[in-house]
Structure 1
Amino acid sequence: MSQAPIYRIQNLVHQYHSSTVLEIDELTIPKHTIVGLAGPNGSGKTTLLKMLAFIEKPSKGLIWFDENKAEPFSSKVRFQVTYLPQVPYLMKRTVIDNITYGLKIRKDPGDHRQKCFEALSMVGLSGEEFADRKWFELSGGEAQRVALAARLILKPRVLLLDEPTANVDENSSRMIRRASLLAREKWNTTVLIASHDLDWLMNICDDMIYLFQGQLSGRGKYNILFGPFYQDAEGVWWKQIGTGQRFMISRPPLKNSAAVILSSDMHIFSQTDSTFPESNTVRGMLTNLRIEKSRSKVIATILVDGFQFIADLSEEQKQNSNFYPGKEVLLSFNPNNIKWQ
């Protein structure tokens, strides 16, 4: 018998000033997973996180938490879900006062200083060095990690992170990833993360949920192209990639459709490779290689004018040391392989 999900959404609609910003017929989030939320600005990621954090109540529909109907501030969810907004708020107090504030609200009887040190350790900060610092003595990355430690000290069942790596340094980004993984390992915490950094999400998440214009547009680890798409004078459909490049696509079935390209259908070539196709090819930079053990695959991340794509390396390419982060490559796919959602 499969385990009940931690979240189940049914017929959710949320509106601001009579304008619908989120509309999800059905969505489930399994327990003990790390799930990424991706999509362009205004797609509804933050709104969905606030619904799941029970900060806001949807205009219509139901949210079930661990098989119980739940609403903002109800006893069924209180102290079980924590939410870290993109711009974290720190009180004008010391680091330890900020981190242990939630414990005081809960009237926790334990050693708060020791628990603060443990939470700081999870985000890669020294308790001895940081616990007694003032809020204004922290860098942007340190403030973000302190805010995360203030959530981790509560050992939540669910941790919701909104753009946690935006405007932080590379080391803070790594520590936030590490802390998220540790939360699941230590407490079976379910983690949902909204981010524009698809490479970072792909490296940490078990599953990906894509939003576009307030609606679900796909689920899984793959490439996804959102509109607008355009048709040229010859009737060929295109997606503009950055300012000077474009991909040819098959005809979108609907105005709000999203184009899905599996990583196995996205092909990467060296610029000196004579076999690369002359059409539907763009230039980009290989930024990351990772091993996906579940599929025995090596996945390459390629950055093309601000767009991130993933592609499987072929068996021959896996043996070829000519592919490495920082290398300029060519990227191509067959438009007929697009799956529209």
Structure 2
Amino acid sequence: TFSRGGDPQMRPIDIRDAVRESVKLVLRGSNIQCRYYLAKHLHPVQADEAQIRQAIGNIIINAVEASPTGGAISVKGENVAYRRKAEKPFIKLTISDRGKGISKEASSRIFDPYFTTKDMGSLKGTGLGLSISYSIIKKHGGDITVQSEIGKGTSVSIYLPAYGDITQVVSTVKEDLPVSGRPEAAVKRILVMDDEALIRSFMEDTMSFLGYDVTTCDEGSKAVEMYGEAMATRPYDLVVLDLTVRGGWGGQETIQRLLDVDPEVMAIICSGYSNDPVISHYGAYGFKGALAKPASIDQIKATLDKIFNN
């Protein structure tokens, strides 16, 4: 289940509204059209609407990027008996494009957070977004599948457990809160330092999805400067440092400078070198935790939970 920063605000929703709002947001300013094929009596789902919109939006972005200029995508919604969980009804959303398509090999890896499919159609360069969509749907008791054919396009299908019938959807007044559902002052601030843009992007996307306020930089001296400046206004609650940085301060040097600035600094060290003593004995070097790269969403979530709950 989701915990700090990621608890779903569950209620019955009309999934058709979530689809239309997601499409509207993504297609704004685009020359791509969307064709809707949504069943009139499509079952509602019990879901966190903000998270479901994010999951759908990520997939729509992929479909739009794959589509030729002036092309179209489609979204189909239907009530189904899902073969993997036949004991209860499901709704199925299928988002399709007519792009280049992707290979079977790539299809089997697209939910890997670090997998990128540049120049491979609807999933090019968007492994991070798809991994987050996958996590959201799974946390809602659903499933997500991909079918693609080279030269013909890609279809991504989302399966979510149905909740009663459409008459059970009740409108609620939404408070003016951030996506996490908590006032801004309660949202933990995290500063991530890593010299690889892909890692920074993944960390920012993942931690933002979990409900944290995330800022990134690519080198240790910048992290120290940003941390010091924030102390006078809204301090960072945690710093995540890459152990090895090309042409700049790595995690070990940076933590020493940060401890000079703030002896109470909370920091995590990250590295692909799991045998490095800074990783295996992180406490002796001033860190509160360690992450081995590549880290999964669940590993990041568990580490952050442990840090903040302690």
Q: Could you state the TM-score of these two structures normalised by the residue count of structure 1?
A: 0.25
In terms of fraction of residues, the more helix-rich structure is: 2
Give the number of the structure with larger relative contact order, counting CA–CA contacts within 8 Å between residues 6 or more apart. 1
In terms of fraction of residues, the more strand-rich structure is: 1
